[in-house]
Amino acid sequence: MEIFCYKLSFMRTFVAKKSEVKRNWYILDARNKILGRFASRVARILIGKDKPTYTPHVDQGDFVIVINADKIKVTGKKLENKIYYHHTFYPGGLKQKRLKDMLAQKPERVIELAVKRMLPKNRLQALRMKRLKVYTDEKHPHFAQHPIPIV
């Protein structure tokens, strides 16, 4: 009985280490962008899925600066129909606010909520959200980081 032994050359799976992570700063303009598509793009950068060294359990996403948050667009009748809920934890404390009112009062909060809800619900979510900086106009204090503009 002959036993054939083939020497197979296997490629090893790359696993990123926390110490090897290099973070970049990106700046995105929300002017005339659709909210959902824009938020999914921001979430993808925060997670780090655009990098070839993506590893699911290592937080290797980049910093994202969003400018012109008050000029975001939505499709359909979402301005009137989309409602944001939160509860005060008191009896009868369910509060609701329309998207139109949220954009008038806190437009940066609309983008933050959209991005947060597109991130995985795990221990890395809060760390990823800390790297998101949203501003209502074109002014931001992060010039020293030399952000790379993304079109």
For 74-107, write each residue's pLDDT tens digit: 999 999 999 999 999 999 999 999 999 999 999 9
Across 10-19, 36-45, 59-68, least confident range: 10-19
For 68-85, b/e burial (b = at least 16 CB within 10 A) is bbbebebeeeeeeebeee
* Radius of gyration for the alpha carbons in the chain, expressed in angstroms and rounded: 21
CB 61 within 8 A of CB 102: no
- Tell me whether residue 94 is in a domain: no
Burial class (CB in 10 A: 0-12, 13-18, 19+), 145: middle
**CATH of residue 114:** 3.90.1180.10
113, part of any domain? yes
Residue 136 token pair: 């209502």
Can you give the pTM of this predicted structure? Answer: 0.88
pLDDT band for position 12 (50/70/90)?
confident
pLDDT score, position 9: 62
95 inside domain: no
Whole domain around residue 58: which residue ranges? 23-74+106-150
Quick check: is 92 in a domain? Answer: no
**Has residue 40 been placed in a domain?**
yes
Residue ranges of alpha helices (H) inside 34-121 are 35-47, 78-81, 99-105, 107-118
For the chain, the domain total comes to: 1
Residue tagged 């780090």 (tokens): 48
